[in-house]
Each structure stands twice: as structure tokens, then as C-alpha cells.
Structure 1
């Protein structure tokens, strides 16, 4: 196999592992969400809901907790010497990175919902790229508090995130967690 293909595959695995706290925070917020909406049902000055019923306090808190837990586990795994680079190299850094990736993913997703409400897109309706990348951008902004990202990683991260997001949504739709496949 060509070394450039191997390099891309290794970097792809690295990116997925790094983003696990964000990806799993987002998935757990969907799976365990419900209850009081994050915006408490309030409207913005335009008369539309701030975010909508799909982003809830329970989902957000569980998602952040799950992202932090994944970061903790990655921090523990880092003690084995298995990981390197911008991945957590201590348990404390793992917890911090997991928290920031998870919180950023969910705040990014909420901000995406806020933008959709501003342009009149109803809950559950798609906006290609925004739906796939709002959590990525949010998680990267928050995680930049504790890590610097290599530029070559960012492009790959966006491509992988689009593919994983669509795949996860299709699976969630097929097993009945989501009402739409996108």
C-alpha cells in the first residue's frame, strides 16, 4: 500500500480518536435528551424560538458529562504511552479536553439550531454542512483553550465529520432514535 494512503488512514484514525468526546457527547445528548428545552421556550426578538425543543438541558448536561468521561478514559489510556501529539497526555488534560470538546460540540449544535431558527428553518429540517459541522466548529473553538491544532488535521477533520455525521444519523434513523435520516 502506498505510504501516502497509509498516512491518511493513520491521520484519520487519529482525528476520530481525538474527536470522540465531541462525537459521543453529541450522540448521547440525542439518545438521552428530552425534557426542558435549553431556551426555556423563549422567543428571540424576531418572534421565533431561540433554539427550539430539540436542544434540552438534560441532553446537554448528559452530553457534556459523557464527553468528559470519554476524555477521562483517553487521559487514562495516555498513561500507557499509546497516544501522542495533541491527544491528552495526562488524566487532567484528558478531562479538560473531553469537557471542552463535549461542551463545544453541544454549544455548537445549539448555535446551529439558533441560526436555523433565524432563517425560518423548522426543527428537524436540514441545512447541509451546517448540520454536520456546527458541532465540529464549536468543539474546536472550545478545545483551542487547551490545545493547538495542526492545519493539516483540520481539513481531514471536516471531511471525516461530515461522513461520520451522516452515517450516524442514518443508523439512528434506522433504529428509531431519529425521525429523519439526515
Structure 2
């Protein structure tokens, strides 16, 4: 006696890249994979080969469709030309943000930052240097408020407080 196994309905089918289980995929619902080929004799000597062939047929059928249930295709990476790299550096020094340049050149903000670092362009909003932190501490201990220290250095009062706390300087009571 041969026991038949329904490979499709074992709640284990997944199209590559998809996050669904339990439901038949769009490939099966569209009728691209016949129900007949999904039944495999469990104790057949060729059962494993048939299962492998069936899996590869499902993958091919899923890749042939342009449905979102069969996984999203990755966007191809493209290289920035030397002229684009030069324009990114010019735009940043002219005052554009990394985010604006990323949108303009259709790339990730981390790519823009990496390009600027390779070109030797100093990025804005860098952490305070040791000298700046020492100056913050000295100004605060001289009696200036957090807001006055921040205004003096061109940064926000909460940023001053963050650096003071990190260096163990106690906050004065109001």
C-alpha cells in the first residue's frame, strides 16, 4: 500500500522571499502547478527526487510571476560617477543636507556620507571635540546657564547638558 502525501498543503510551502504559510500561494491559486504533481508516494524509492523537482518547479513558477506574494526583487546597485561624486561634495559644502543629496542622487544617506568622507569633506553635526567639551564645562562652572553656554558655542542647551552629565559635572539647581 502506498501512502500519499500532499506536499502543497503541509503548511510548509513558501515562495522565496515571501512571509506567508498556511495559504496556498498565488502560484498554486493561479493553477500554474498541477495538483497531480504535488502528490508523491511516501515510500517510493524516488520520493526525495520528486520532492526536489516539485520544489524547483514551484520556485520557477513563482519567479515567473510579477506578484508581490512571490518576493520582492532587489533594486540593482549602481555606481556614482566621478561627476556625481563631485556634485555631491559641492552640494554639501553649499549647505545641502545629506538627506537632500540622497534624494537628489537616488541613493542612501549612508552612501552620501561615505562619499563625503572619502573626499575629505568635514561632516556637519559631528560630536563635540575634547576642547569644546572642556570649554562647555569651564563656561558652565563660571556661572553661565545651559542656554547661555549653548548660545555661546552655537549648540542647543540640551546638548550642553548631555556633555556635562557625561563628564560628571553636577547640574546647578534652578
Query: TM-score w.r.t. structure 2 length?
Result: 0.21
Larger Rg computed on CA atoms: 2
The higher-RCO structure (CA 8 Å, 6+ apart) is 1
- Write 1 or 2 for the structure with the bigger share of helix: 1
Query: TM-score w.r.t. structure 1 length?
Result: 0.20
